[in-house]
Amino acid sequence: MPNHLLNPLNFNRILIVTQRYLGDTLLTTALIHSLRVAYPLATIDVLLPKANSGILQGNPDINELLFFPEKPSKFEFLTFLKSIYHQYDLAISLQNSDRTSLCAILAAKRSMGFVDVPLRKSWWKKLLFSAYLIPTETHTVLENLRFCQLLSIPAISSLIAPQALQSKQAANISSAYAVLHVMPQWRFKQWHQNGWLEVIEFLHQHNLQIVLSGGPTAEEMAFVKQLAALASAPVINLAGVLSIPELSEVIRQATVFIGPDTGITHLASATGTPCIALFGPTNPEIWAPWPYDYQTDINPFHKKGSQTIANVYLLQDQTDRSCIPCQNEGCLKHRHSHSECLDHLSVQLVLDTLNVLLQSARRLTPS
């Protein structure tokens, strides 16, 4: 494997290829920003699923967003590959999937990506990539920034949150408020309803308006609506109302954000707002929200235990569970499973953390 790509000054057109979820896409922005600083005159485009495009809206480091064709036939996918063939000087695949790897290899004269283990299954990637990396067990931001080493450029571990004009919803909230993102995409990352209701009451007693956020799916909107109806305090329900950039601005102006392991919690951390992240089966070493303006190559989080780094207050179940984090999709190992570590995540732990946070009034103000 080549240790470095030669002639970096020839990289006039760069393509980043990523195909995961919303939070994963946000975590790519540190690498993109590093590339922008290293190659200020280059065109930097991103190829991604269209559904994730909102998380990159207004990003000044990106020239254009390209979208994977949705459920293409073989002919349609080949036509797409032909349309990007050798359009770039450098392409980087940020997943080790065959699809993203193939796109990067064909899109550019020089390409880089991750290679699966065992390596015998990835012989063609090893052969065709100009340089490759073997995945490691480290935070996704740091994992992506390893490509900077191959390019001999400085790694800058700053995430860029999406930007929009000031949201009308935020402007109409007249008092200090907290944002609660109560429903993740998958059941196995969900905290219990009673916990959310107690948090709402606690925040109300501390004179904070409660704003509920959520995605546009029928399941998410129904859950948020039910929670709003059960709450003992008045709430503002913005589930399904805001675009991702608008929600980013609402969170940016909040006193505190509370959410589960989901893309919006990653977004909240990137805005600089104090962020309480409720973690269950997921490994924080790899997937914790990246702390605002955290500039080091040392992983900010450990695998186990509640931890506070900069504006991120990461909470785990504190009972004696040797399985935390199991990295499974809940106790039943499917996306609609419950997770005992979240079912038993203490309400008092969340309230105590909120109390410390609100008393210290610590806030990292974005530039």
The single residue listed with the structure tokens 């609100």 is 358
Confidence of residue 2 (pLDDT cuts 50, 70, 90): very low
344/204 same-domain check? yes
Examine residue 87 and state whether it is found in any structural domain, yes or no: yes
Give percent of the chain above pLDDT 90: 76
Q: Which domain holds residue 214?
A: 168-360
Whether residue 91 contacts residue 11, with contact meaning beta carbons closer than 8 Å, is answered with no
Mean pLDDT of 338-347: 91
Token pair, residue 267, equals: 């977004």
Evaluate whether residue 114 is within a structural domain. yes
Binned at pLDDT 50, 70 and 90, residue 9 comes out as: low
Average pLDDT, the chain: 90
**Same domain for 124 and 187?**
no
Residue 21 forms part of a structural domain: yes
Express each pLDDT in 119-158 by its tens digit: 677 889 999 999 999 999 999 999 999 999 999 999 999 9
DSSP 47-87: EE-GGGGGGGTT-TT-SEEEEPPSS--HHHHHHHHHHHTT-
φ/ψ of 91, rounded to 5, equals: -135, 140
Task: Indicate the residue among 93, 121, 151 that finishes a domain.
Answer: 151
Same domain, 130 and 210: no
Write out the DSSP string of 75-126: HHHHHHHHHHTT-EEEEEESS--HHHHHHHHHHEEEEEEE--SSGGGGHHHH
Mean pLDDT, to the nearest integer, of 173-184?
A: 90
Same domain, 225 and 350: yes
Q: Which amino acid is at 91?
A: A
Q: Is the dihedral of CA 115, 119, 124, 130 positive or negative?
A: positive
Total domains in the chain come to: 2
Q: Are residues 328 and 239 in the same domain?
A: yes
Q: What is the pLDDT of residues 210-226, one digit of tens each?
A: 999 998 889 889 999 99
Q: What is residue 306's DSSP assignment?
A: -
| Domain end (from 94, 122, 151) | 151
Give the model's confidence band at 4: pLDDT under 50 very low, under 70 low, under 90 confident, else very high.
Answer: low
pLDDT at 366 over 60: no
**pTM summary value:** 0.92
For residues 110-121, give the mean pLDDT. Answer: 85
Please report whether residue 103 resides in a domain: yes
Q: Are residues 22 and 139 in the same domain?
A: yes
Same domain, 125 and 183: no
> What local confidence, expressed as pLDDT, does residue 121 receive?
77
- CATH number of the CATH domain containing 193: 3.40.50.2000
**Based on the domain organization, do 138 and 191 belong to the same domain?**
no
Within a domain: residue 158? Answer: no
Q: Whole-angstrom Cα distance, residue 314 to residue 307?
A: 5
Q: Is the pLDDT of residue 1 over 60?
A: no
- Average pLDDT on 221-240 reads 93
* Local confidence band at 361 (pLDDT 50, 70, 90 cut-offs): low
174 and 308 both lie in a single domain: yes
Two tokens, residue 157: 């571990």
Phi, psi of 357 (to 5 degrees): -65, -45
**Does a structural domain hold residue 156?**
no
**Residue 181 and residue 128 share a domain:** no
- Residue 365 inside a domain? The answer is no
Give the lowest-confidence range in 28-37, 61-70, 269-278, 337-346. 337-346
Pairing between strand 177-181 and 256-260?
A: parallel
What CA–CA distances, in Å, run from 104 to 43, 86, 146?
16, 9, 17
In terms of domains, do 58 and 185 share one? no
The pLDDT of residue 83: 96
In angstroms, rounded to a whole number, what is the distance separating the alpha carbons of residues 142 and 163?
23
Residue where a domain stops, chosen among 119, 151, 183:
151
Confidence of residue 165 (pLDDT cuts 50, 70, 90): low
Range 21-47 average pLDDT: 96
pLDDT of residue 175: 86
Same domain, 122 and 177: no
| Residue 284: inside a domain | yes
pLDDT of residue 330: 84
